[in-house]
């Protein structure tokens, strides 16, 4: 939109963040080439600059008023803030000045000298950020002004008046670790001058709008924090009075709404999709300040369905009532980092479904259309017709998708209606104590049994084999034979290493969710619907558009084959219903709980099929159970009830001697320990090592009374830890947990690692477990 049009417009349009991976995952390829030494640093900069500018040009074509700059990253945007403010842990030996690319990547991935910084889930998403390590006395300094550099580049190269984006001080410190909770306000206050400098430099450059992301404002905000926020934002407003600060919240409704909306900023961004009820209730109860812009997040940044633009326009009109004339910004509900780049490449998809999809680019089109519609003007009739047409298309495609799904499932989905399951479907037939004895007799495992989490390296070779199969150059027999070879090789390796419970290695799987989705009814798959999960690792979430149904056994062939190769137990490996749900793009016409129960019934069929095939140790992974936890505590009980019930529905019908395992990673466990215990799994393996043993602490305060494996080494780093390091982890855990319930395992699956490092690390792990075993046995015989 031109400057003069903008002046006349009654509303602005904006974006909050754009996927950084590129439509063809160019970003991932550039990063991985650099890490592998295939390209040098100048080439990395060049390739990422090209991509960054392309992304901005794409947004420019939509003629949005507020286009974010500085949201692009070389790895993670929280790590960018840490690098920018000199929050570099001592072990990386940073001696001042801007953080180098090698130190930046060492913080993210670790190197020979130093372990990586911890990584954890970004609120309730499948995106993982690098956790800032802040100590009580950390000194902050603005080592470089990244948003300013991004703004200058966009202006020089594209003539774009960008909107720099930065995570705000309150959220940055809340999502950091390493300081005492009572020092929180002091640390945030210490950061203020640095933010003030950053903003005043932007102001001096002539920047108009700055987006400050404060998603932590959707979490519980204490009264002390309210006072802190007032001080912080007063200081920032004073430092850069000419800047228009857009205080952006997302993923839920704002807490402390009256305080937040009274902060001295130019605009407040609200999520009107995932925070719809709460934010609308606050708008109704408290109104909206007439001196501020209201950023209306009406286009869903977390799902991939086209918006019903007529409905959205109605919502916008309703919301516009609260804002002063001409002070509305139409936006996505959050950054578009969480959706794929474009649906335009999905030509292989059923046209019915393809028509129903909107990825990042299509969402920006939707925003632009809404902007034109709400801005009025001479072409309003044309625009209304365009919106009506878009709406008709959505309605038609939604109806078509429903019919498509129903025709597949109508005759097959029978039994209890979702959510109403009898106890025999949800409860194991014996208590954990009874099962434990029976299982000990059956399995005769040594004290501190060793195992892994499921996957072994998905090498280039494994991926190539799958690609050949997909392209039709290999037939199913050739591909199966290749997978069997891999299984055989790794069963031998596991036996040689001396692990107690083996796995088949998951070589046949692209991804732990996509693989199951491909075999169930109700799922569709994109070709290029990639989303960043962490660093250069991407996932392609399946699309659940219909009722989910089991068709035929999905994992029995490979698992049973692996079991024929060894006398040691082979653990079956499944993904749990809540994780399949949370890592998919889910239909929005029925409650998520219902979809979860549908998946649970399908997984139960698989659990039973494995058991019938003689696989009597079965792991049902639920790494996304915690991620799905609502951000508001008031919504936890409802979620946990159906999430736990789904897991039990999937697993409870097995024999008492069948050992059910589960696994979780990348998350805090303290606050859901009770729910984890309610899953009634016989053994849980969890990630611990990247949090440097802190998680063990959460078990100190809680009495978890079932089998538990605490990860003893970080699988995200190529670094192979020494035996003493692992032994320390084990012995630290044994101070808290009874030895006869304790298992020894890595943090998570090993699919991202190379063969040599896995063999080394697991051999050391088994050695460490043996030593720990000897010590425990010696101690107990004294
Ligand atoms: C445990 N984790 C998972 C999360 N979410 C999931 N949905 N799945 C998970 O496992 N969230 C939390 C963590 C995040 N961890 C990871 C770990 C590893 C990855 C990863 O390795 N991603 C791969 C993509 C995996 C995949 O689908 N591979 C396909 C190959 C796809 C591909 O690249 N094809 C090529 C062509 C290949 C050729 O011709 O040679 C192409 O399209 O260009 C496969 O195996 O077949 C990644 O590469 O990023 C993700 C999350
Ligand atoms: N079984 C899976 C769990 C990842 S969370 C794996 O090993 O990759
Ligand atoms: Zn895991």
Protein residues placing their CB within 5 Å of the ion ligand 3: 623, 665, 748
Q: State the pLDDT at residue 7.
A: 40
How far is the C-alpha of 355 from the C-alpha of 359, rounded, in Å? 11
Q: Model confidence over 171-227: pLDDT tens digits? A: 999 999 999 999 999 999 999 999 999 999 999 999 999 999 999 999 999 999 999
694-701 and 723-734 helices cross at what angle (nearest 10)?
A: 10
Q: What class is the 424-781 domain? A: alpha beta
The pocket around ligand 2, CB under 6 angstroms, is made up of 453-455, 512, 573, 621, 623, 663, 665, 748-749, 751
Which residues make up each annotated binding site for 5-methyltetrahydropteroyltri-L-glutamate?
25-28, 121, 126, 537-538, 583, 627
Tell me, rounded to whole angstroms, the distance of Cα 304 from its chain centroid: 16
How far is the C-alpha of 134 from the C-alpha of 142, rounded, in Å? 15
Find the DSSP H helices in 305-459: 309-320, 351-354, 360-375, 380-409, 423-426, 432-443
Nearest to 596 by CA among 632, 622, 633, 635: 622
Longest dimension (CA), the chain: 91
How far is the C-alpha of 530 from the C-alpha of 511, rounded, in Å? 12
Give the contacts of 85 (CB within 8 A, at least 6 positions apart): 140, 141, 142, 143, 191, 194
- Confidence at 2, pLDDT banded by 50, 70, 90: very low
623 CB within 6 A, ligand 1: yes
Q: State the pLDDT at residue 519.
A: 96
Query: What is residue 167's DSSP assignment?
Result: E
Atom of ligand 2 at shortest distance to CA of 749?
Answer: 7
Does the active-site annotation cover 716? yes
3-class DSSP state for residue 550? coil
Residue of 748, 753, 762 with the most ligand 2 atoms within 8 Å of its CB, for mutation: 748
3-class DSSP state for residue 683? strand
Q: Which of 338, 504, 661, 716 is catalytic?
A: 716
Q: State the pLDDT at residue 704.
A: 82
Q: Model confidence over 281-316: pLDDT tens digits? A: 999 999 999 999 999 999 999 999 999 898 999 999
Q: Which CATH code fits 3-14+65-75+132-404?
A: 3.20.20.210
pTM: 0.93
Q: State the pLDDT at residue 3.
A: 42
Region 561-569: mean pLDDT is 98
Residues 715, 721, 724, 725: is their CA dihedral positive or negative? negative
Cβ(235)–Cβ(196) under 8 Å? yes
6 pLDDT higher than 50: no
Q: Model confidence over 66-88: pLDDT tens digits? A: 999 999 999 999 999 999 999 99
Q: Rounded to the nearest 5°, which phi and psi values hold at 481?
A: -65, -40
Region 264-275: mean pLDDT is 98
Identify the top-confidence range among 5-14, 368-377, 640-649. Answer: 640-649
Higher pLDDT residue, 780 or 71?
Answer: 71
Q: State the pLDDT at residue 406.
A: 60
- Confidence at 8, pLDDT banded by 50, 70, 90: very low
Cβ(554)–Cβ(479) under 8 Å? no
Higher pLDDT residue, 701 or 236?
Answer: 236
562 pLDDT higher than 70: yes
447 pLDDT higher than 80: yes
Region 490-496: mean pLDDT is 98
Q: State the pLDDT at residue 93.
A: 95
How far, in Å, from the CA of 383 to the mean position of ligand 3? 48
Q: Kindly report the protein residue whose alpha carbon is nearest to atom 3 of ligand 2.
A: 749
463 CB within 6 A, ligand 1: yes
Give the contacts of 351 (CB within 8 A, at least 6 positions apart): none
Q: State the pLDDT at residue 696.
A: 64
* Percent of the chain whose predicted confidence (pLDDT) is above 90: 82
Q: State the pLDDT at residue 667.
A: 72
635 CB within 6 A, ligand 1: no
Region 378-406: mean pLDDT is 63
- Confidence at 425, pLDDT banded by 50, 70, 90: confident
Residue of 30, 455, 463, 523 with the most ligand 1 atoms within 8 Å of its CB, for mutation: 463
Which residues make up each annotated binding site for L-methionine?
453-455, 506, 621
Nearest to 269 by CA among 219, 311, 184, 211: 211
513 CB within 6 A, ligand 1: yes
Q: State the pLDDT at residue 559.
A: 98
Token pair belonging to 358: 């909107």
Q: State the pLDDT at residue 351.
A: 86
Q: State the pLDDT at residue 420.
A: 58
* Percent of the chain whose predicted confidence (pLDDT) is above 70: 91
How far, in Å, from the CA of 277 to the mean position of ligand 2? 36
404 pLDDT higher than 70: no
How far, in Å, from the CA of 771 to the mean position of ligand 1? 36
- Confidence at 689, pLDDT banded by 50, 70, 90: low
Q: State the pLDDT at residue 735.
A: 86
Predicted complex ipTM: 0.96
How far, in Å, from the CA of 534 to the mean position of ligand 1? 11
402 pLDDT higher than 90: no
Region 117-131: mean pLDDT is 94
Higher pLDDT residue, 737 or 755?
Answer: 755
Find the DSSP H helices in 376-513: 380-409, 423-426, 432-443, 460-470, 476-497
Residue of 539, 582, 622, 753 with the most ligand 1 atoms within 8 Å of its CB, for mutation: 539
766 pLDDT higher than 60: yes
- Confidence at 377, pLDDT banded by 50, 70, 90: low
How far, in Å, from the CA of 519 to the mean position of ligand 1? 17
379 CB within 6 A, ligand 1: no
Residue whose tokens read 């960018």 = 80
| 3-14+65-75+132-404 and 424-781 in the same fold | yes
Q: Kindly report the protein residue whose alpha carbon is nearest to atom 6 of ligand 2.
A: 749
490 pLDDT higher than 50: yes
Give the contacts of 381 (CB within 8 A, at least 6 positions apart): none
The mean predicted confidence, pLDDT, of the chain is 92
538 CB within 6 A, ligand 1: yes
Region 352-356: mean pLDDT is 87
Q: Kindly report the protein residue whose alpha carbon is nearest to atom 13 of ligand 1.
A: 533
Domain range list for the chain? 3-14+65-75+132-404, 424-781
How far is the C-alpha of 73 from the C-alpha of 146, rounded, in Å? 10
Which of 151-165, 355-369, 393-407, 535-549 shows the lowest mean pLDDT across its residues?
393-407
Q: State the pLDDT at residue 65.
A: 97
417 pLDDT higher than 60: no
How far, in Å, from the CA of 455 to the mean position of ligand 2? 6
Whole-number Cα distances in Å, 550 to 258, 409, 556, 624: 49, 11, 14, 21
Which residues make up each annotated binding site for L-homocysteine?
453-455, 506, 621
């Amino acid at each position: 939109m031109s400057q003069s049009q903008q002046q006349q417009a009654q509303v602005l349009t904006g974006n909050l963040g754009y996927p950084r991976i590129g439509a063809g995952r160019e970003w991932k390829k550039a990063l991985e080439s650099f890490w592998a030494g295939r390209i040098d640093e100048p080439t990395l900069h060049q390739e990422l600059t090209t991509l960054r500018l392309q992304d901005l040009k794409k947004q420019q074509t939509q003629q949005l008023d507020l286009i974010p700059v500085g949201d692009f990253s070389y790895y993670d945007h929280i790590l960018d803030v840490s690098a920018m403010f000199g929050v570099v842990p001592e072990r990386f030996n940073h001696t001042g000045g801007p953080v180098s690319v090698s130190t930046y990547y060492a913080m993210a991935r670790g190197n020979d000298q130093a372990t990586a910084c911890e990584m954890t889930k970004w609120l309730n998403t499948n995106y993982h950020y690098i956790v800032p390590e802040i100590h009580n006395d950390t000194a902050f300094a603005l080592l470089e002004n990244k948003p300013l550099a991004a703004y200058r580049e966009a202006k020089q190269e594209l003539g774009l008046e960008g909107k720099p984006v930065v995570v705000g001080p309150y959220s940055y410190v809340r999502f950091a670790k390493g300081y005492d909770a009572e020092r929180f306000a002091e640390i945030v206050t210490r950061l203020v001058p640095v933010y003030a400098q950053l903003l005043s430099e932007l102001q001096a450059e002539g920047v108009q709008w700055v987006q400050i992301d404060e998603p932590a404002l959707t979490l519980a905000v204490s009264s002390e924090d309210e006072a802190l926020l007032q001080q912080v934002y007063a200081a920032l407003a004073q430092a850069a009075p000419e800047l228009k600060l857009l205080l952006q919240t997302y993923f839920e409704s704002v807490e402390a709404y009256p305080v937040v909306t009274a902060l001295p900023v130019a605009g407040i961004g609200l999520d009107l999709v995932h925070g719809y009820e709460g934010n609308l209730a606050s708008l109704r109860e408290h109104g909206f300040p007439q001196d501020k812009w209201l950023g209306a997040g009406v286009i869903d940044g977390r799902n991939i369905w086209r918006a019903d633009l007529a409905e959205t326009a109605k919502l916008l009109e309703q919301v516009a009532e609260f804002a002063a004339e001409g002070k509305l910004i139409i936006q996505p509900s959050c950054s578009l980092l969480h959706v794929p780049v474009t649906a335009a490449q999905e030509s292989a998809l059923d046209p019915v479904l393809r028509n129903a999809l909107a990825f990042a680019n299509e969402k920006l089109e939707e925003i632009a259309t809404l902007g034109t519609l709400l801005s009025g003007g001479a072409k309003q009739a044309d625009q209304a017709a365009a919106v009506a047409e878009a709406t008709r298309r959505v309605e038609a495609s939604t109806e078509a998708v429903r019919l498509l799904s129903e025709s597949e499932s109508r005759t097959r989905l029978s039994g209890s209606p979702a959510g109403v399951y009898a106890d025999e479907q949800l409860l194991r037939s014996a208590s954990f104590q009874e099962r434990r004895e029976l299982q000990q007799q059956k399995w005769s495992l040594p004290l501190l049994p060793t195992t892994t989490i499921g996957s072994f390296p998905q090498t280039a070779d494994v991926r190539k084999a799958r690609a050949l199969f997909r392209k039709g150059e290999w037939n199913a027999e050739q591909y199966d034979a290749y997978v069997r070879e891999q299984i055989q090789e790794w069963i031998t390796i596991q036996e040689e290493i001396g692990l107690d419970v083996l796995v088949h290695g998951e070589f046949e799987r692209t991804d732990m969710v996509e693989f199951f989705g491909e075999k169930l009814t109700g799922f569709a798959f994109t070709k290029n619907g990639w989303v960043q999960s962490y660093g250069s690792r991407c996932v392609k979430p399946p699309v659940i558009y219909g009722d989910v149904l089991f068709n035929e056994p999905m994992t029995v062939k490979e698992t049973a084959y692996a079991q024929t190769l060894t006398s040691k137990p082979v653990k079956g490996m499944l993904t749990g219903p809540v994780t399949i749900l949370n890592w998919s793009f889910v239909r929005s016409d029925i409650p998520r709980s219902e979809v979860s129960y549908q998946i649970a019934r399908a997984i139960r069929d698989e659990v039973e099929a494995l058991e019938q095939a003689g696989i009597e140790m079965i792991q049902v992974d639920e790494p996304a159970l915690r991620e799905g936890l609502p951000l508001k505590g008031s919504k936890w009980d409802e979620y946990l009830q159906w999430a736990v019930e789904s897991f039990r529905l999937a697993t409870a019908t097995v024999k008492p001697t069948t050992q059910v395992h589960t696994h979780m990673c990348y998350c805090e466990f303290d606050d859901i320990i009770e729910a984890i215990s309610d899953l009634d799994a016989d053994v849980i393996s969890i990630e611990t090592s990247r949090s440097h043993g802190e998680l063990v602490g959460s078990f100190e305060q809680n009495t978890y009374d079932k089998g538990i494996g605490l990860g003893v080494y970080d699988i995200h780093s190529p670094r192979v830890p020494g035996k003493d390091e692992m032994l320390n982890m084990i012995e630290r855990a044994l101070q808290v947990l009874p030895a006869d319930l304790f298992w020894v395992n890595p943090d998570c699956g090993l699919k991202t690692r190379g063969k040599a490092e896995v063999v080394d690390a697991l051999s050391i792990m088994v050695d460490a477990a043996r030593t720990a075993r000897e010590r425990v046995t010696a101690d107990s015989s004294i």
